[in-house]
Amino acid sequence: MFFRNDRNLFQFFLLARAISFNIFTATFHSIKKIEERLRGEHFDIAIVDGIPLCQYYFYVAKFLSIPTIAEGSVIEQYLSNTPFQTNILPSPLSGSTNQMSFSGRLFNFFAQCFSRFLLSYVLHQPDVSILSPELNKYSAEHLYKESLLFIENADHIVDYPKAIFPNYIQAGPLTASPPKPLTPDLEKFMHKSVKEVVYISLGSVVESLPEYIIKKLETVAKDLEKLIIFKSNSESENGHIKHVKWVPQNDILGHNKTVLFLSHCGKNSFLESLYHGVPIICMPFNVDAFGIASKAEHFKIGAQFDIRTSTVEEISAIVNSVLNNRNIRENVQRASTIIKDRHFTPAQTACNAIEHVFKYGSDHMTSPMKDLSFLAYSGGDVWMVVFVASSFVCWLTTKLFLKCVKIY
């Protein structure tokens, strides 16, 4: 279910549709049961996960009369009222970079437009009257757009510079921080020899991956002349390879012996690797990981491969190539230096913005773009008028020309 091919992508959408409906329906019933307790807490604001699949949670905040802040690793342009920038901002699911040819920009334009309607299909509207019949007059998209603030867990160094309004901030990486000391067991392994450390993690998807993928990575690890920390479904230590079920990832990446990260390339993992100046090799499986993997190559801070089709020999060659690439090390360390050389940490940046809207609201920072229809937002209405007017002028010119030809 996590591999990107036509059949499995379609199955993923069907599964997401069913799961989202069941989750939100169950959530609404639970919220209704504890309504009195929640209202008694007198919450000032609700920070809601801003990824599109979670947008029905905005109904809960509306039901409780709590203003919202949207936060997420992926925030769609049209939902956050940022300018329509399909010529420089690739779709998160496309795997493209911001340097697109004409055909790439054309494809990206339609992909961005189509994604809005695809999302409305994937998200099966739950019965919001479970909370209150009054909520039926609001769409989830409208409630999302009414957020006071949009906080993206991102950094323009690798998330492509873009035009944003004052109520949209990039505050990433939110999960990265200076490393803490490791547990005695992990620290002992890190210093087991003078060899450097390679960290391998497939995130939560490791639990649903075919066994042959784990075996393939284990074979690659055995041939590496490095210490290997492998986050998997087991706990064991065999020579230079240590399998763990859980690991403090931020602290491992921040350790001075860690020189490479093999990752499924979730957004937090990618940004943590960048923060600590560790080159990353991406093995994307689903959703936005393909776009993130393309950034690793585009900015020359890592590489990527398809774990399904790549052979052990091909993977080993990529790993050794990145380990021995001085340019990649310098690029990722430079990015790390820039991120750390700022007056405020990402968390402080987010907190400052939240405190600001607490005090003053966000009307003075919000564009009227949130009130536009999607056609107007994308400029489609203007271009339709231009097309019709141009067509009429061409038609009229042709008619006059033919009439003149007949006369003379």
Q: Answer whether residue 270 shows pLDDT above 90.
A: yes
Q: Answer whether residue 93 shows pLDDT above 60.
A: yes
C-alpha separations of 22 from 49, 52, 138, 287 in Å: 18, 16, 20, 21
348-395 pLDDT, tens digit each: 999 999 999 999 999 999 999 888 888 888 888 999 999 999 999 999
Average pLDDT over residues 94-121: 82
Share of the chain above pLDDT 70, in %: 94
Average pLDDT over residues 113-131: 78
pLDDT of residue 133: 94
Rounded distance between C-alpha atoms, residue 167 and residue 155, angstroms: 16
| Of the listed ranges 23-27, 80-84, 204-208, the one predicted with least confidence | 204-208
Tell me the pTM: 0.88
Q: Answer whether residue 104 shows pLDDT above 60.
A: yes
For every residue of 41-101, DSSP letters joined together read T--S-EEEE-SGGGTTHHHHHHHTT--EEEEES---HHHHT----TTTS--TTT---S---
The domain locations on the chain are: 6-175+347-371, 184-338, 378-407
* Residue 69 confidence class, pLDDT cut points 50, 70, 90: very high
* Residue 257 confidence class, pLDDT cut points 50, 70, 90: very high
Average pLDDT over residues 295-317: 94
225-246 pLDDT, tens digit each: 999 999 988 888 988 999 999 9
State the average pLDDT for the chain: 89
| Of the listed ranges 55-69, 115-129, 208-222, 255-269, the one predicted with least confidence | 115-129
pLDDT of residue 115: 76
* Residue 12 confidence class, pLDDT cut points 50, 70, 90: low
Q: Exposure of 342 by Cβ count < 10 A (0-12 exposed, 13-18 middle, 19+ buried)?
A: exposed
169-201 pLDDT, tens digit each: 999 899 999 999 999 999 999 998 888 999 999
CATH code for the domain defined by 184-338: 3.40.50.2000
